[in-house]
Amino acid sequence: MNTLGNNYNLRRLTKLAISAGSICLALAFGFSLMGGVVHAAPLAAPAPKQVSGFAVLAGTAVTCTDSTITGDVGVYPGTAVTQTNCTITGTVHAGDGVAKQAMQAFIAEYDRLAAMKCDTVLTGTLAGVTLTTPGVYCFDAAATLTGTLTLQGPSNGTWIFKVGTLGTGALTGTNFSVVMTGGGVPCNVTWWVAQAATLTDSNFVGTILAGDAITITRGTFFGDAFAKAAVTMTGTSVVGCGGSGGNGGGSKCNQGDKSRSNDELGGTPGNPGRKGGNKGAIPQ
């Protein structure tokens, strides 16, 4: 089994502008299935860029009820941000220029990932499945997930999941958990969804880029929630990559925050692991 290189270019959005970030390459690869474990071997593929700073970004409206959000919240071109017993520890950008820039970057990244080739086609609920090598994993149509998915890989491993690659398909997770082992980082996981994403009573890991709405009910969410339509959260906790210093409880590639970035802390350039910042616990 070959090892996947994972340096890829990131696009960062600060509150004033979007600048090109550096690092983290994702290589695409072939695969073999052995029981509940998927092994992959590298080919080559472009890698995802991300909008940092925003934990929640919606096109039409954001509704937060009995929930907490760690990170910025934005909506554009809509302006509605409705909070009921909701705590947001970042800045709210409702229809302003910062939200507009973030939405433009999100859509560009969404389109880029839409064209990305798949390495492995997945089926089923993913309950009890362990993926041992980072890469691009795809569902042709909708994905209805439950149980526990384990991502077993290094701290610089990049995981990309695409749902609805044939044109349509929603992501539905019920009592679904993503567990990372081997030092894996939640914010190095991306879920591209052709249509809506709905999570209920799930402990979810990764950033969702949804072509329609995102609905999160109870459970926990470690990553960013970006949707072309609305984002609705009820009774949950959303810990964004930028708001957590890039880890949703762990760490992320080069956020550009001098108190947190690996490179700026004297770490190895191009290595997404933190040298000294953001030592929160990664969900295990």
Residue 34, in any domain of the structure: no
226: in domain: yes
Q: Using DSSP, how many helices (H) and how many strands (E) does the chain show?
A: 1, 24
CB-based burial label for 284 (10 Å; 0-12, 13-18, 19+): exposed
* Residue 245 identity (one-letter amino acid): G
Whole-angstrom CA distances from 188 to 81, 98, 159 are: 28, 24, 6
25 within some domain? no
Answer yes or no: is 171 within a domain. Answer: yes
Both tokens assigned to 43 = 């080919």
Is 104 within the bounds of a domain?
yes
Q: Sign of torsion, CA 121 125 131 134?
A: positive
| Predicted model pTM | 0.72
pLDDT of residue 243: 55
DSSP string for residues in 95-111:
SSHHHHHHHHHHHHHHH
Query: Does any domain span residue 189?
Result: yes
Rg (CA), the chain: 17
Q: Which domain holds residue 163?
A: 51-249
- Asked if the structure places residue 87 within a domain, the reply is yes
Task: Please count the structural domains in the chain.
Answer: 1
The one-digit pLDDT tens for each residue of the chain (284 residues) are 433 333 333 333 333 333 333 333 333 333 333 334 443 333 233 333 447 789 999 999 999 999 999 999 999 999 999 999 999 999 999 999 999 999 999 999 999 999 999 999 999 999 999 999 999 999 999 999 999 999 998 999 999 999 999 999 999 999 999 999 999 999 999 999 999 999 999 999 999 999 999 999 999 999 999 999 999 999 999 999 975 544 444 333 333 333 333 333 333 333 443 333 333 333 44
The answer to the question of residue 17 being in a domain is no
